[in-house]
């Protein structure tokens, strides 16, 4: 096996070259589904640490959600073929992966226009199952607040090349709030980036509600120890580094690969593009003009097919097995006055972590 490709060089080179029923903690995906959809994000990994994979995406599962894995033809594995591609007509895409957290602008009205004057980390609330000391579900749930952290898996050709260029020429993407907007819904999709490098970012929600990130699992307590004496900015990078390490391990895990492969039962070539290409090779048109006429008559582009002809007509849901449960507005409003501050929450988390460590001795 070779080393995982990382950083701006890998991004630019790629741009030029154009489940089971058992519950598992998941890391949600941050993605842009619709034309003109915008999100404010802060990346939690340096560009040079962002891996580039040859990825198999949109793998259907029994849970109803799509998954993704690294192709065996990726340089990390170096194999000559991949079974998702050879058996099920999957398309291999060059894809960068990074950890990010969504932000919410703190706005003020200037000349009757709302303008950001800073940002804070967005939080989400959901119901989480409670497990006993043996890891068995108790049947009870708890209401959890978590930072809106997730992973971004996008092409180096129209997304991460923009991120890399901004980082190199404008401001660090790990210290700058970015408004990223999707433009288009087909193969010509591009992403527009607007940075707010002079505006402050309040990271207290990221650190204070870190225990809401179920994906961390047993890594939570060691991570709390690691970030205890760090500045919020340093803690954010440490959190991003840990989450990216876990996501990488998941994507290259062979047992998970085989499990996903066993769950596929039909062709992943949804629009039949590979079959069309094979037919063209077998029976080529007599002229370029005939080819153009044939394409117009029999092979219309699928509407809203996304960045790639093989992409599902509507983007997949985030790769999660249990959706966060949203509270009723009235219930959320009632709890607002008694909700702990991120600082108090972090103090409580450290106290509990210390108690757990003492109990293990």
Cα separations in angstroms, 125 against 67, 76, 251, 346: 23, 37, 27, 17
Res. 327: pLDDT tops 50:
no
Residue 6 near residue 52 (C-beta atoms within 8 A)? yes
Res. 36: pLDDT tops 90:
yes
Q: How confident is residue 165, by pLDDT bands cut at 50, 70 and 90?
A: very high
Lowest mean pLDDT among 5-14, 36-45, 67-76: 5-14
How many CB atoms neighbour CB 336 within 10 A?
A: 7
What residues does 121 pair with on adjacent strands? 103
Q: What percent of the chain has pLDDT over 70?
A: 71
pLDDT at position 264, please? 94
pLDDT single digits (tens) 126-162: 888 888 877 788 888 889 999 999 999 999 999 999 9
Q: Span 76-84, mean pLDDT?
A: 96
Which secondary-structure segment (H or E) carries 125? Answer: strand 123-131
| pLDDT: which is higher, 1 or 188 | 188
**DSSP assignment string, 34-52:** STT-EEEEEE-S-GGG-EE
**Half-sphere exposure of 270 toward its Cβ, with a 13 Å CA cutoff?**
15
Res. 49: pLDDT tops 70:
yes
Res. 70: pLDDT tops 90:
yes
Which secondary-structure segment (H or E) carries 334? Answer: helix 329-336
CA proximity to 6, closest of 50, 46, 43: 50
Res. 354: pLDDT tops 80:
no
Residue 186 near residue 198 (C-beta atoms within 8 A)? no
pLDDT at position 357, please? 63
CA distance 334 to 287: 71
């Amino acid at each position: 096996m070779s080393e995982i490709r990382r950083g701006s060089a890998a991004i630019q080179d790629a741009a030029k070259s154009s489940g089971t029923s058992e519950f598992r903690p998941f890391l949600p995906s941050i993605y842009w589904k619709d034309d003109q959809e915008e999100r404010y994000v802060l990346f939690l990994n340096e560009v040079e640490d962002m891996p580039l994979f040859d990825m198999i995406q949109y793998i259907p599962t029994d849970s109803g959600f799509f998954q993704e894995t690294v192709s065996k033809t990726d340089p990390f594995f170096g194999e000559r073929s991949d079974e998702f591609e050879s058996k099920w007509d999957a398309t291999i895409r060059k894809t960068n992966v990074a950890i990010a957290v969504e932000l919410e602008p703190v706005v003020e009205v200037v000349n009757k226009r709302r303008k950001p004057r800073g940002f804070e980390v967005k939080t989400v609330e959901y119901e989480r199952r409670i497990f006993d000391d043996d890891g068995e579900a108790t049947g009870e749930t708890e209401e959890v607040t978590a930072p809106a952290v997730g992973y971004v898996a996008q092409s180096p050709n129209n997304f991460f090349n923009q991120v890399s260029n901004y980082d190199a020429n404008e401001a660090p993407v790990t210290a700058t709030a970015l408004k990223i907007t999707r433009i288009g819904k087909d193969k010509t999709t591009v992403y527009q980036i607007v940075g707010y490098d002079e505006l402050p970012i309040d990271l207290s929600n990221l650190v204070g509600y870190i225990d809401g990130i179920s994906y961390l699992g047993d890594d939570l307590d060691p991570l709390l120890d690691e970030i205890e004496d760090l500045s919020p900015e340093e803690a954010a990078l440490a959190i991003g580094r840990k989450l990216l390490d876990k996501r990488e391990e998941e994507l290259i895990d062979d047992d998970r690969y085989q499990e996903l492969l066993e769950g596929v039962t039909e062709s992943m070539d949804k629009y039949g593009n590979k079959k069309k290409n094979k037919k063209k090779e077998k029976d080529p048109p007599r002229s370029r003009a005939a080819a153009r006429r044939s394409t117009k008559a029999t092979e219309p582009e699928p509407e809203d097919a996304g960045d790639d002809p093989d992409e599902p007509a509507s983007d997949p849901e985030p790769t999660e097995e249990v959706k966060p449960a949203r509270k009723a507005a009235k219930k959320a409003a009632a709890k607002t006055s008694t909700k702990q501050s991120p600082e108090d929450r972090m103090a409580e988390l450290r106290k509990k972590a210390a108690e757990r460590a003492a109990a293990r001795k």
